[in-house]
């Protein structure tokens, strides 16, 4: 009975009911499926591009890192740390200065270390005061040798007083020896990889030649027995 009534109602009003039902179902499809999925598609398009870019960047970075020779990189790092270490290197500086001073024909009468200073936020330094005796005519060579040495040393003060003998002038040189603490941030996975520029390669080559021009001294003294083998003999 009820079914017949519904059928009758539909047959009477189907001209209006059919378009309304079509419109509602289309609207439901648009609101629940097409619109959200299209929005998601568009937003994922951006995400896809970002992931693609990151993936390409990481692949290029991995390839660039693989191309670096680890031994070569180690030797370059060691070279740079010899010139500009992470901490105060008194022994190394004494050795270098002794060589440079001897090469310039001077003798050291005293050598003392002073307090450090911070040139700026990155570069730190400690002072070395040198009292020397030698020929004044070679002093400019000594200055040049010091400032072109493979260790970063800057001249911060000079005092000379000529004696009667021109070959034994008293010279006092104040030096600033530069060093800097190692960087804490060694880069994240997504950080860009720095490249060694031509200028960097030139600096490394200059450092290498400066280091090789210095006479090689053994890093540690050979251990040898001292005194009598048997003290009770």
Partner 1 sequence: MQKLSIDLLPAEFKQAQSKRSKFYKIQSVGIAIIGIIAFLASLIIALRILQSQKILRLQNRAQEAEQKVSSLKTSQGYLLLLKNRLATINQYLGTSSKQAQMYNLVEKLLPPTVSISTISVSRNGEVSILATGNDGDSLDLFLNSLQSKDINEDKIKEISMENLSRGRDNLYRLTINIKPK
Contacts with partner 1 in 194-223 (CB under 8 A)?
A: 194, 196, 199-200, 203-204, 206-207
Alpha-carbon distance 210 to 207, whole Å? 5
- Given a contact cutoff of 8 angstroms between Cβ atoms, the answer to whether 101 and 153 are in contact is no
Q: Given the structure tokens 């700026």, which residue do they identify?
A: 120
For the segment 56-75, give every residue that binds partner 1 (CB under 8 A): 58-59, 61-62, 65-66, 68, 70, 73-74
Of the residues 161, 216, 224, 230, which one makes contact with partner 1 according to CB under 8 A? 161
Per-residue binding letters, 115-154, with partner 1 (x by CB under 8 A): -------xx---------------xx--xx--xx---x-x
* CA dist list (Å): 224 to 93, 95, 212, 232: 26, 22, 29, 20
Q: How many residues bind partner 1 (CB under 8 A)?
A: 76
* Nearer CB in complex with partner 1: 108/143: 143
* Nearer CB in complex with partner 1: 38/217: 38
| Interaction of residue 7 with partner 1, rule CB under 8 A | no
* CA dist list (Å): 50 to 90, 189, 194: 51, 16, 22
Burial bucket for residue 82 (CB in 10 Å: 0-12, 13-18, 19+): middle
């Amino acid at each position: 009975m009820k079914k017949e009534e519904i059928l009758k109602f539909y047959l009477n009003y189907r001209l209006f009911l059919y378009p309304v039902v079509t419109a509602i179902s289309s609207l439901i499809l648009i609101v629940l499926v097409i619109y959200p999925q299209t929005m998601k598609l568009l937003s994922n398009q951006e995400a896809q591009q970002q992931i693609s870019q990151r993936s390409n960047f990481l692949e290029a970075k991995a390839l660039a890192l693989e191309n670096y020779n680890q031994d070569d990189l180690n030797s370059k790092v060691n070279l740079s740390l010899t010139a500009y270490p992470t901490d105060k290197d008194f022994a190394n500086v004494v050795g270098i200065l002794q060589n440079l001073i001897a090469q310039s024909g001077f003798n050291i009468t005293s050598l003392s270390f002073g307090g450090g200073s911070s040139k700026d936020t990155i570069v730190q330094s400690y002072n070395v005061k040198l009292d020397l005796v030698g020929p004044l005519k070679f002093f400019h060579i000594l200055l040049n040798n010091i400032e072109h040495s493979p260790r970063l040393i800057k001249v911060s003060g000079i005092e000379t007083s000529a004696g009667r003998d021109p070959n034994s002038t008293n010279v006092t040189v104040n030096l600033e020896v530069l060093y800097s603490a190692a960087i804490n941030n060694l880069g994240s996975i997504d950080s860009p990889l720095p490249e060694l520029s031509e200028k960097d390669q030139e600096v490394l080559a200059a450092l290498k030649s400066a280091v090789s021009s210095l006479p090689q001294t053994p890093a540690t003294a050979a251990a040898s027995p001292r005194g009598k083998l048997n003290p009770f003999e």
